[in-house]
Amino acid sequence: MSTAEPILLTPGPLTTSSRTRQAMMVDWGSWDDRFNQLTASLCEQLLTIINGGDSHHCVPLQGSGTFAVEAAIGTLVPRDGKVLVLINGAYGKRLAKICEVLGRSFSTFETAEDEPTTAADVDRLLRADTSITHVALIHCETSTGILNPLAEIAHVIEQHGKRLIIDAMSSFGALPIDARDVPFDALIAASGKCLEGVPGMGFVFARKEALANAAGNSHSLAMDLFDQHTYMAKTGQWRFTPPTHVVAALHEALLQYNEEGGLPARYQRYANNCQVLLDDMAKLGLRSFLPAAIQAPIIVTFHAPKDPRYQFKEFYERVKAKGFILYPGKLTQVETFRVGSIGHLNQAEMRAAVAAVAEVLREMEVLDI
Q: Which residues are annotated as a binding site for substrate?
A: 338
From the annotation, which residues make up the binding site?
A: 338
DSSP-assigned beta bridge partners for residue 299: 340
DSSP-assigned beta bridge partners for residue 106: 83
179 DSSP assignment: T
- Helix residue ranges, H only, 261-346: 262-283, 312-321
- The full DSSP string for 27-45 is ---TT-HHHHHHHHHHHHH
Put residue 186 in one of left, alpha, beta given phi > 0 → left and psi -120 to 50 → alpha. beta
The answer to whether the CB of 125 falls within 8 A of the CB of 109 is yes
- Strand runs (DSSP E) across 70-210, as ranges? 82-87, 105-110, 134-138, 140-141, 146-147, 163-167, 186-190, 201-207
340 DSSP assignment: E
For 72, 82, 163, 208, 225, the CA distances from 230, given in Å and listed in that order, are: 15, 25, 22, 12, 8
The answer to whether the CB of 289 falls within 8 A of the CB of 196 is no
Q: Residues near 114 by Cβ (< 8 Å), separated by ≥ 6?
A: 88, 144, 146, 289, 290, 291, 294
The answer to whether the CB of 181 falls within 8 A of the CB of 151 is yes
Pick from 145, 188, 143: nearest CA to 165: 188
The answer to whether the CB of 188 falls within 8 A of the CB of 202 is yes
Pick from 327, 313, 321: nearest CA to 359: 321
Instruction: Check the CA dihedral 154-159-160-162 and report its sign.
Output: positive
267 CB neighbour count, 10 Å cutoff = 18
